[in-house]
Amino acid sequence: MKTPGEQIITALLERPERRHFSVLLERKAGPILGAPPNPMPVPRVITGPVVPLRMRDLIAGGTTEADSIAYARETSITNSVVVPVGAGGLKPQADLTYEIVTSPVRTIPAYMKASAQLLDDYASFQSWIDARLLYSLSIAEERQLLNGNGVAPNLQGFMLVAIAVGAAGANFLAGVAAGVAQVFSFGYVPDGIVVNPADWGKALGTLGSPALITSPLSLWGIPVVLSLAQTAGSYLVGMFNPYSQIFDRDAAAVEVAEQNQDDFVRNVVTVRAEERLALAIYQPGAFAKGTFTP
């Protein structure tokens, strides 16, 4: 399967109106320029930050062909005390309340400028797309998944839906532990914690807890996502799978424009990546949010 970088290069070569790119690539490839048998290797774009775990990794996946999805979200549950009841006695009742939520498909974009010279070197251009542009798109996606306010064109993110923990913890571990306890108290088993990298680093330096020194990162056996999208001093704990789901409408697509603003005179191109998806959060009780003293 081709990478996004390979796909965009193929598209450039196949579009008749942009055949000059093909000519440039053919010249760089071979005998027209009299390339030596063993040309000096040129370093390609170095891969950017590699984050071991992202929020998307915690969430169940799905696809849709619609412009929105509608689903039932559990809003409350009432469990009466279960006690023995004699003949003719009133049985205890458990009540569940649901609401129908419509989650529109939203477009999440990211774009960068690149030199025209980079575009001429198709191998470096391909590496640049795969290593840098798509990383920027993943950052934009995570901000929406976590902090989207639900107002178009934003997703409704987890921090908007999660149930707040009553009191702030005295420190990092106490705060996150309160969130874990709340999720457990509602009958769910947490499978993810989302915190700011600065908070994790400060806790690592001040608390000196062996619980923070693990690979992959985890707390009490629960995977940890270090996200720049998370506000410092805040956290999210939840049972993400199966109580939330991403519905991808369009996977990440990359497009190139040569004539945008003053790109032509500056000898640069604009490269845009975007995806379309909807997010469903089925049970808010499976997620807890809170704060602590950084």
State which of 33-37, 84-88, 135-139, 225-229 shows the largest mean pLDDT: 225-229
Query: Measuring CA to CA, how many Å separate 86 from each of 79, 93, 95?
Result: 19, 15, 22
Distance CA 184, CA 179 (A): 9
Read off the tokens for 158. Answer: 């987890």
pLDDT recorded at residue 240: 97
Which residues are within 8 A (CB) of 114 and not within 5 positions of it... i.e. 6 or more apart? 125, 128, 268, 269, 270, 271
211-235: average pLDDT: 89
According to CATH, the superfamily of the domain at 4-31+53-63+102-291 is hypothetical protein PF0899 domain (3.30.2320.10)
pLDDT recorded at residue 20: 33
pLDDT recorded at residue 40: 44
pLDDT, tens digit, for every residue of 170-190? 889 999 999 999 999 999 999
Strands 192-195 and 234-238: antiparallel
Distance CA 162, CA 9 (A): 42
CB 200 within 8 A of CB 226: yes
Rg over CA atoms, the chain: 25
90 — pLDDT class (breaks 50, 70, 90)? confident
pLDDT higher than 80, residue 167: no
Which tops the pLDDT comparison, 140 or 47?
140
Read off the tokens for 288. Answer: 């807890």
Residue 125 carries which side chain, given as an amino acid letter?
F
pLDDT recorded at residue 10: 64
pLDDT, tens digit, for every residue of 233-259? 999 999 999 999 999 999 888 888 877
200-214: average pLDDT: 78
pLDDT recorded at residue 214: 75
